């Protein structure tokens, strides 16, 4: 695999799981990684594990204020070559929860945080968004993003958010022609979210996002694509709908007050 020269990569939600594994993969290959933890306690645990001087920004991105804090922390460190939007909560949420800002927590973390961090972090050369095979079941609709009109269904809300992550990735590929913006699915892997019996390759699930962040392989230096285990994969036709991509971006702009050119 061809790799670019030493790069700096920010990975949201990287105190454990796939984000941490991707960060460690990058560190082993000589890249600089800015990690992200939602609390001081988790940041301290992460630093003890890493045994390195890697930067860690802190903030629970379920609120807009914390999203801004994380973006400010990343920008203070300096320019990053790639940003991996890994942060997410799973489908096990038993009920709809609201953040202090009003949006549902799952939408705030899984969709709004990738949007606002994209808007506020200094533009990198590469953007990577973690989706899921469950995006295929996501509703191609933006009329009830907050689940105020529907009876709560955690699995459906999660699936919707993973389709929305594709919309953001592909919208950014259209809007920022000088940035490579792609989405991927790691597979059903044995993380806290996936559970111990998940059948897919955990290492490959982490490596794909890291590979997209630094590889100079022709297969990785593309934009507006969807990947699984370093290979392009067919995406739901709904993910390619420009009308829905733009509708989501507009909804996120209205909620956050921040537009992406």
What percentage of residues in the chain have a pLDDT greater than 90? 83
Could you tell me the pTM of the whole model? 0.93
Structure confidence by residue, pLDDT tens digits, 12-36: 999 999 999 999 999 999 999 999 9
Query: Cβ neighbours of residue 214 under 8 Å, at least 6 residues apart?
Result: 3, 4, 7, 9, 26, 29, 31, 81, 82
Q: Which of 123, 162, 226, 231 is catalytic?
A: 162
Helix axis angle, 113-120 to 242-256, nearest 10°:
80
- Burial classification of residue 199, based on how many CB atoms lie within 10 Å of its CB (0-12 exposed, 13-18 middle, 19 or more buried): exposed
**Does residue 261 form part of some domain?**
no
Query: How is residue 72 written in tokens?
Result: 């400010």
**H-helix segments, 93-229:** 105-107, 113-120, 154-175, 202-214
**Does residue 82 form part of some domain?**
yes
How many domains are there within the chain? 1
Structure confidence by residue, pLDDT tens digits, 185-240: 996 544 455 445 544 566 777 899 999 999 999 999 999 999 999 999 999 999 99
Phi, psi of 7 (to 5 degrees): -120, 160
CATH of the domain at 194: 3.40.50.720
Query: Cβ neighbours of residue 196 under 8 Å, at least 6 residues apart?
Result: 190
> Residue 119, Cβ neighbours under 10 Å: how many?
19
Q: What is the maximal distance between C-alpha atoms in the chain?
A: 49
> Residue 136, Cβ neighbours under 10 Å: how many?
17
**Does residue 3 form part of some domain?**
no
pLDDT of residue 248: 98
The distance of Cα 124 from the centroid of its chain, to the nearest Å, equals: 14
State how far the Cα of 56 lies from the Cα of 6, in Å rounded to an integer.
19
End-to-end CA distance of the chain: 34
Q: Is 162 a catalytic residue?
A: yes
pLDDT of residue 193: 52
- Domain extent, residue 49, equals 8-255
Q: Which of 91, 115, 158, 226 is catalytic?
A: 158
**Does residue 145 form part of some domain?**
yes
**Does residue 148 form part of some domain?**
yes
The DSSP call for residue 123 is: P
């Amino acid at each position: 695999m061809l790799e670019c020269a030493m790069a700096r990569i920010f990975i949201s939600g990287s105190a454990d799981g796939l984000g941490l594994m991707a960060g460690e993969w990058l560190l082993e290959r000589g890249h600089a990684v800015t990690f992200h933890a939602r609390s001081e306690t988790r940041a301290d645990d992460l630093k003890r594990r890493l045994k390195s001087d890697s930067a860690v920004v802190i903030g629970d991105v379920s609120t807009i204020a914390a999203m801004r804090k994380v973006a400010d922390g990343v920008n203070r460190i300096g320019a990053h070559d790639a940003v991996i939007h890994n942060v997410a909560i799973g489908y096990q949420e038993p009920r709809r929860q609201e953040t202090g800002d009003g949006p549902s927590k799952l939408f705030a973390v899984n969709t709004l945080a990738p949007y606002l961090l994209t808007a506020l972090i200094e533009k990198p050369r590469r953007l990577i968004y973690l989706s899921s095979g469950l995006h295929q079941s996501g509703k191609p609709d933006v009329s009830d993003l907050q689940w105020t009109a529907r009876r709560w269904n955690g699995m459906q809300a999660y699936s919707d958010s993973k389709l929305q992550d594709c919309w953001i990735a592909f919208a950014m590929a259209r809007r920022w022609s000088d940035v490579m913006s792609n989405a991927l699915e790691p597979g059903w892997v044995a993380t806290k979210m996936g559970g111990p019996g998940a059948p897919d390759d955990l290492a490959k699930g982490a490596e794909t996002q890291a590979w997209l962040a630094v590889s100079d392989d022709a297969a990785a230096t593309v934009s507006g694509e969807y990947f699984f285990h370093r290979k392009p994969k067919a995406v739901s036709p709904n993910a390619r709908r420009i009308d829905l991509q733009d509708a989501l971006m507009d909804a996120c702009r209205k909620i956050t007050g921040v537009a992406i050119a």
